[in-house]
Amino acid sequence: AQEKEKLAQEKVKLVQEKEKLVREKVKLVQEKNQLTMEKNELRAMNNRLSEEKKILENKITAQQHPTITINVGQNAPYCPPGWQLHMSSCYQRSSSTSNWDCASQDCARKESHLVILNDEDEEKLE
């Protein structure tokens, strides 16, 4: 009977220990889930910041390397003084370097358009 009582007490002790371990497991699973959510949020934030970084890098590149060639008009029979004819279009190379917005505004004042150079021949115009 004493052995039986001793085993019963040991069983109660083991059951209590098991319940404690189950509670700890539940708590750890909840913490893991919370960390997983935080990790996913950080990944999404990292993706957004990476996209913003690319946009800003592109803007910086555009400002550091502006196109300075100006196209007055297509199919022009002649070009104004200081302009050069190339493949039916007139071009004027700016004497100054500026960012895209300022160069575009300068072109608008001259009733022309800022262009992107499409081939090596256009790049060689002087």
CA pair distance 22, 15, nearest whole angstrom: 10
Query: Please, are residues 73 and 89 in contact by the beta-carbon 8 Å criterion?
Result: yes
**Mean pLDDT confidence for 101-109:** 82
**pLDDT value for 70:** 45
Q: What is the pLDDT of residue 96?
A: 73
User: Whole-number mean pLDDT of the chain?
Assistant: 81
The rounded distance, in Å, linking the Cα atoms of 120 and 126 is 12
Nearest to 118 by CA among 89, 81, 83: 89
Please state which of the ranges 3-7, 62-66, 71-75 shows the lowest mean pLDDT.
71-75
Q: Which residue has the tokens 């917005």?
A: 101
Alpha carbon separation from 18 to 12, 39, 102, 125 (Å, rounded):
10, 31, 74, 84
Given a contact cutoff of 8 angstroms between Cβ atoms, the answer to whether 106 and 94 are in contact is: yes
pLDDT of residue 25: 97
Tokens standing for residue 20: 């404690």
pTM of structure: 0.42
Can you tell me the mean pLDDT for 67-83? 59
